[in-house]
Amino acid sequence: MKPAAFGIMIFGLLGCQTTEVTTNDGRALPPVPTPIPQPPENIQIDAMTLLVGQRPIDVDGDGYPDRIEAAVALFSEAFAASSLRVDGTITFELVPRGADQVPIAQWSVKTDDLALQSVDALYGPAWQIALDLREVADPVRPLEWVNLRASFQPVQGRSVQTSEEPRLIQIGHDL
């Protein structure tokens, strides 16, 4: 190759630059995400979300569901950017449907307890837990629909309840 042609080719390659990047369908790439700002000091939790697994799990194989999978996320109206992690105690209650709201089972777990697994969800930080019915009540029960509800008591501040929307699960077994 002639030196002049080689020089022109190198000059041409070095002179090229990309001015716009698009996806394979021609749309521009989305903007670079910005980090979530830090929440203000002494923020007050005023809402929480409780997510419950579809079906309790029979851990010991006796035909009666024993373990309930749940997740909790805490929120503040003063900080709508994401959910938050705040020290406190989460109380879960398993209650029958209907007028009789006396809990069948109750679990109280501090947020620093190893039973609560810290997870990062799409909406921000949350906790997951496996609630074992054998630890707090007899899982050998007739088949029934029950509601799992939760409350959060921060170290400082007022208690927060989950909404009254039912989180129905089925426990027990046909006798």
What pLDDT was estimated at residue 18? Answer: 61
| Stronger pLDDT, 141 or 175, i.e. the higher one | 141
Q: How far is CA 68 from CA 44, 146, 171, in A?
A: 29, 12, 9
Q: pLDDT tens digits, residue range 81-139?
A: 888 888 899 999 998 887 667 888 999 999 999 999 999 988 889 999 999 998 988 77
CATH of domain 47-171: 2.60.40.2550
Q: In this structure, are residues 115 and 129 in contact, taking their beta carbons and an 8 Å threshold?
A: yes
Q: Where are the domains of the chain?
A: 47-171
Q: What is the DSSP string of 12-60?
A: HHHH------B-TTSPBPPPPPPPPPPPPTTPPP-EEEEEE-SS-B-SS
